[in-house]
Amino acid sequence: MPKLETFSYLIISLHEFCQKEQKPGKQKSKYPYPDMFRIACNELALKMPYGTYPRTQTGLLKLFEQPVENWWPDGLKIPEDFDRSSGLLYDGKPSEETFDYLYTLFEGEFDVDKIPNSVNIQIIVENKQFRDLFLRLNEEYISGDSDRAQEEYIKLRSFLIDRPYTTATELRKEFTGTRCISNKEVGDLYEDCDRGRTYWNCDRCGPLFEKHGRLQGIKPEACRDHRQELDYVREIPWEQDLRYLKPGIHSRVCLPGIPEMNLWRSLQKLQEKYPKQLVSTHLWPGLDSYDMQLRFSDNSVWAVDVKDYRNPHRLGKKLTTIQGITEDLRYTEAFYVFPSRRLKWRENYIQIVRDRATNLSQETHLLSIPSFQERIEEKIQSLTKEKRK
């Protein structure tokens, strides 16, 4: 096995290993170990200094919670983009860094064909389900009724963000009139809840799981405090045909969508208040060419994309200039905006993103979401003053 692959094998297999306890409230045995996990651990045991490889499973999982720079053996590589100050696990689950890195692997930096067929990573399979729906809508957008495709895309994606729990009745109600996607297909992005059980949701990070008598979110590192008395932690009472979002959809569609929808709602409020200055707002224009478009009364058009990433190095590398090729998508200013908690955790976050973003035009603005909101208000103010003159 080439050296870098031990790391990738470990990242992939840790997801497989941990997903066994993904179901809310259910704890299943972690045996037998997935094959890749065994292979990666054997390699680690060989390369770590004699006597330092943990003897028990508990010891091993504890080691994986430590920053990798503290224990990863010299003889094996860590990818340059992986943040060495992060552990592989956090509170018994893949850390945010591990999570994000898994997707980087599947986005083309790793030869997926090398993964044995026996590997079953639920979240990747589930994402493919969403991707297939997107591709069908995209086909309709390109060669059929593009307005309808756009409308149904907004409906689907905002539903998955706003409704981490749903019922068969609600799905039928929402998706009966849709032409490109059926309510059954949207329902397949959810799992059935167990009859009569109580479920919990966090308004900040979605469905919660019970672990050792407390509630845990899908990314415990990003959202930690889930005491039941907190106002953003809500009980979801049992009802007939209750379902919760599958973890792959939860982590890749719902979770990153929460700051997007919050920003979107604040923009809508501004537009209602100042319709003469902020003429129109559009969500996911061009079937998600970017996140939001703002049209102002002086004919300026702003294109905005929200990015919620832990690691600014990897984010910077991914960023490219926002595409505004068609008339509808053309813009005069472009913005990448980041939730402010990302900037609080990491000094120079924006500077690191900028330095790494070699495929990004210098004119693109990089801002925290609150700074971006201030920028819009300033713009509205200046348009109001111009009008008065």
Tell me the closest approach of the beta carbon of residue 229 to Zn ion, in angstroms. 14
Cβ proximity to Zn ion: between 125 and 230 the closer is 230
Look at residue 156 and give its three-state secondary structure: helix
Tell me the closest approach of the beta carbon of residue 26 to Zn ion, in angstroms. 20
Cβ proximity to Zn ion: between 219 and 307 the closer is 219
Q: Kindly state whether residue 255 participates in binding Zn ion, applying the rule CB under 5 A.
A: no
Q: Which residue's structure tokens are 């050296």?
A: 3
Rounded to whole angstroms, the Cα distance separating 32 from 24 reads 21
Q: Which of residues 199-228 bind Zn ion (CB under 5 A)?
A: 202, 204-205, 217, 223
190, exposed or middle or buried, with CB in 10 Å at 0-12, 13-18, 19+?
buried
Q: Which of residues 144-183 bind Zn ion (CB under 5 A)?
A: none
Both tokens of 73, joined, read 């053996």
Cβ proximity to Zn ion: between 105 and 254 the closer is 254
Q: Which of residues 288-347 bind Zn ion (CB under 5 A)?
A: none
Tell me the closest approach of the beta carbon of residue 225 to Zn ion, in angstroms. 8
How many chain residues touch Zn ion (CB under 5 A)? 5
Q: Kindly state whether residue 250 participates in binding Zn ion, applying the rule CB under 5 A.
A: no
Q: Kindly state whether residue 133 participates in binding Zn ion, applying the rule CB under 5 A.
A: no
Q: Kindly state whether residue 259 participates in binding Zn ion, applying the rule CB under 5 A.
A: no
Q: Kindly state whether residue 350 participates in binding Zn ion, applying the rule CB under 5 A.
A: no
Q: Which of 237, 245, 234, 266 minimizes the C-alpha distance to 163?
A: 245
Cβ proximity to Zn ion: between 102 and 223 the closer is 223
Tell me the closest approach of the beta carbon of residue 201 to Zn ion, in angstroms. 9
Cβ proximity to Zn ion: between 41 and 205 the closer is 205
Rounded to whole angstroms, the Cα distance separating 372 from 62 reads 40
Rounded to whole angstroms, the Cα distance separating 369 from 156 reads 24
Q: Kindly state whether residue 89 participates in binding Zn ion, applying the rule CB under 5 A.
A: no
Contacts of 102 (CB under 8 A, 6+ apart): 11, 12, 15, 94, 121, 123, 124
Tell me the closest approach of the beta carbon of residue 217 to Zn ion, in angstroms. 4
Rounded to whole angstroms, the Cα distance separating 339 from 291 reads 14
Rounded to whole angstroms, the Cα distance separating 220 from 16 reads 18
Q: What angle separates helix 3-18 from helix 35-47, to the nearest 10 degrees?
A: 130
What is the binding site for Zn ion (CB under 5 A)?
202, 204-205, 217, 223
